[in-house]
């Protein structure tokens, strides 16, 4: 998932705790929210926050076991949630998924495209066609197709919230050298988001990009565990130092900052966890 943001200039010391609007004031009662990458990390935390705001949940991820845990956790708290295990790299699956969710649960009002893959990281001349395709399918094409599947219902309702979770490294592409496919795919996702926001202006459907910050998730751990000779020793050490020094924020902090902005009516925004207010 895109829940281990690798952006930008290195700072030292504990990460500042983001501030955000009180999500208890956000009322999504009865609205269906679709969250991809909902089995762990930011996606799971976003689902919890949306449930607190009264939304019904369609949880999407590849791991059926992780999804079942999240669904059961939400159900125990009184929320309505259904799990949809799907590989978002499979375009045929993605093309059918939106229609399946709406058949089961009705029209969607909120879509959080959070699922993503950071790998492979390594020299660009060693990438395979499959590597490049995998990254673009999960990080860019799947969000585009899922969004298209829900647009008609959102337009008819005159209300919708689409948030595409990206990474701060798009603003600082050189910060993740050897992560060419990830940086390129997330850059494409942001361009798609802003273009779609312009297309939908005045419809009541907003489209935003969200850069989640440096979050303590499996993605961060995966990068720390990589072979320094392949991904670059400086990258591994930088991620390890963030972990050691307390640079990383929790998924719950980042999720709360995201969900707190869903009440806004402005569209075409690039939101950063550090800017939440």
Tokens 């845990």 appear where? 69
CATH 3.40.50.720 fits 23-275, yes or no: yes
Q: How far apart are CA 17 and CA 40, in angstroms?
A: 21
Question: Coil, strand, or helix at residue 3?
Answer: coil
Give, as one character, the DSSP assignment of residue 19.
P
Q: Phi/psi at 271 (nearest 5 deg)?
A: -95, 145
Q: What is the dihedral of CA 59, 38, 69, 50, to 10 degrees?
A: -70
Tokens 């399946």 appear where? 100
Count of alpha carbons within 13 angstroms of residue 98, beta-carbon side: 24
Whole-model pTM: value is 0.88
DSSP H helical ranges for 77-226: 91-105, 129-136, 142-157, 180-199, 218-224
Is 25 within 8 Å of 193 (Cβ atoms)?
Answer: no
pLDDT in tens, 40-90: 999 999 999 999 999 999 999 999 999 999 999 999 999 999 999 999 999
Q: How far apart are CA 174 and CA 183, in angstroms?
A: 9
User: According to the model, what pLDDT value does residue 5 have?
Assistant: 54
Low-confidence ranges of the chain (pLDDT < 50): 1-3, 6-22, 277
Helix %, strand %, coil % of the chain (to 5): 50, 15, 35
Is 172 within 8 Å of 10 (Cβ atoms)?
Answer: no
Q: How far apart are CA 14 and CA 16, in angstroms?
A: 6
Q: Which of 20, 84, 136, 182 is catalytic?
A: 182
Is 114 within 8 Å of 2 (Cβ atoms)?
Answer: yes
- The span from the first CA to the last CA of the chain, in angstroms, equals 24
Question: Coil, strand, or helix at residue 215?
Answer: strand
Q: Where exactly are the structural domains of the chain?
A: 23-275
Is 241 within 8 Å of 89 (Cβ atoms)?
Answer: no
Cis ω on the peptide bond leading into residue 120 (within 30° of 0)? yes
Q: How far apart are CA 55 and CA 30, in angstroms?
A: 6
β-pair type (160-165, 56-61)? unpaired
Q: How far apart are CA 268 and CA 210, in angstroms?
A: 11
Contacts of 142 (CB under 8 A, 6+ apart): 36, 88, 89, 91, 94, 113, 115
Q: Is 182 a catalytic residue?
A: yes
Q: How far apart are CA 219 and CA 179, in angstroms?
A: 13
């Amino acid at each position: 998932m895109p829940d281990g943001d690798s952006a930008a200039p290195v700072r030292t010391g504990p990460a500042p705790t983001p501030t955000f609007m009180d999500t208890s004031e956000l009322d999504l009662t009865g609205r269906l929210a679709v969250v991809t990458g909902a089995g762990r990390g930011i996606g799971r935390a976003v689902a919890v926050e949306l449930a607190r705001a009264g939304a019904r949940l369609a949880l999407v991820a590849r791991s059926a076991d992780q999804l079942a845990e999240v669904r059961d956790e939400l159900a125990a708290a009184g929320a309505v949630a259904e799990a949809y295990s799907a590989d978002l790299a499979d375009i045929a699956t993605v093309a059918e998924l939106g229609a399946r969710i709406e058949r089961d649960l009705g029209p969607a009002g909120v879509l959080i495209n959070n699922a993503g893959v950071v790998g492979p990281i390594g020299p660009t001349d060693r990438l395979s066609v499959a590597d490049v395709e995998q990254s673009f399918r999960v990080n860019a094409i799947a969000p585009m197709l899922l969004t298209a599947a829900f647009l008609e219902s959102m337009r008819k309702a005159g209300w919708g919230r689409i948030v595409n979770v990206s990474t701060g490294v798009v603003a600082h592409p050189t910060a993740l050298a050897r992560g060419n496919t990830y940086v390129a795919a997330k850059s494409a996702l942001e361009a798609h988001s802003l273009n779609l926001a312009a297309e939908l202006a005045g419809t009541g459907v907003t489209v935003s990009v969200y850069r989640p910050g440096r979050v303590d998730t499996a993605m961060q751990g995966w990068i720390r565990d990589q072979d320094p000779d392949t991904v670059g020793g400086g990258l591994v050490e930088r991620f390890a130092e963030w972990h050691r020094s307390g640079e990383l924020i929790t998924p719950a902090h980042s999720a709360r900052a995201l969900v707190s902005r869903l009440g806004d009516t402005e569209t075409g925004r690039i939101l950063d966890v550090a800017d939440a207010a």
